[in-house]
């Protein structure tokens, strides 16, 4: 019975890792739409989101079955309970990437910043993947620290569009600010995944400042 339970936990973890990896892929394609005006990127992101939705539903079913059939406790219970939230966060990351991709290319003035935000989004999703697959609290704490980069980029973007020198008009400024918000929320969901990994690995919530741990 224990062997079967471990195999099911391993499958659940693999599915969660795949979701985080797919979130990273969606960030790659969404950023290609924004920075490089890649017209084929949005359909790719939609296809990735469809796969994320499928995995999210499968993880929900698997986690409920594990709770019902095995009544896990301690670390095992934390892993199963965290799976619901991690899957939902990764699914939201894909949905946010879809919103980014369908917005289309950003004005030239903002593209370098969006390229940096895209790279950071990819990095955060990939770090989340490693943390989930390894039940790795240290990797999750690295993600929490790296999120500060996205916050700084978002502030820089808002400063850029709110200056008198912004040359593209009010509507464009609003669209760019919304795009930036989508990237920030993508990062926020990666942070939530990291917090769940720390909880399941250690049985405690992460400190507000991971550098203090």
CATH code of the domain in which 197 resides: 1.20.58.220
Give me the residues of the chain with pLDDT under 70, please.
1, 207-213
pTM assigned to the model: 0.94
- 125 part of a folded domain: yes
pLDDT, residue 213, reads 38
- 165 part of a folded domain: yes
SS3 labels along the chain: CHHHHHHHHHHHHHHHHHHHHHHHHHHHHHHHHHHHCCCCHHHHHHHHHHHHHHHHHHHHHHHHHHHHHHCCCHHHHHHHHHHHHHHHHHHHHHHHHHHHHHHCCCCHHHHHHHHHHHHHHHHHHHHHHHHHHHCCHHHHHHHHHHHHHHHHHHHHHHHHHHCCCCCCHHHHHHHHHHHHHHHHHHHHHHHHHHHHHHHHHHCCCCCCCHHHC
- Domain interval for residue 65: 1-202
Torsion of CA 194, 197, 202, 204, to 10 degrees: 60
In the numeric block, which tokens belong to residue 32? 């290609």
- 211 part of a folded domain: no
Distance between CA atoms of residues 87 and 164, nearest Å: 42
pLDDT, residue 207, reads 63
Distance between CA atoms of residues 48 and 176, nearest Å: 24
- 96 part of a folded domain: yes
- 158 part of a folded domain: yes
Count: domains in the chain: 1
Asked whether the beta carbons of 10 and 76 are under 8 A apart, the reply is: no
């Amino acid at each position: 019975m224990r062997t079967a339970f471990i195999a099911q936990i391993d499958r659940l973890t693999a599915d969660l890792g795949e979701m985080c990896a797919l979130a990273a892929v969606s960030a790659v394609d969404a950023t290609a739409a924004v920075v490089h005006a890649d017209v084929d990127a949005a359909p790719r992101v939609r296809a990735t989101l469809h796969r994320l939705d499928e995995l999210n539903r499968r993880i929900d079913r698997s986690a409920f079955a594990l709770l019902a059939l095995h009544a896990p406790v301690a670390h095992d219970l934390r892993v199963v309970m965290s799976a619901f939230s991690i899957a939902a966060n990764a699914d939201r990351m894909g949905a946010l990437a879809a919103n980014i991709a369908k917005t289309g290319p950003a004005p030239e003035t903002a593209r370098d910043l969006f390229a940096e935000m895209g790279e950071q989004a990819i990095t955060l999703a990939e770090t989340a993947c490693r943390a989930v697959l390894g039940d790795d609290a240290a990797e999750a704490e690295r993600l929490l620290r790296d999120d500060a980069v996205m916050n700084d980029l978002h502030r820089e973007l808002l400063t850029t569009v709110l200056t008198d020198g912004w040359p593209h008009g009010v509507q464009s400024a609003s669209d760019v600010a919304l795009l930036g918000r989508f990237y920030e929320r993508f990062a926020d969901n990666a942070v939530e995944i990291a917090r769940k990994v720390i909880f399941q690995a250690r049985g405690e919530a992460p400190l507000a400042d991971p550098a203090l741990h």
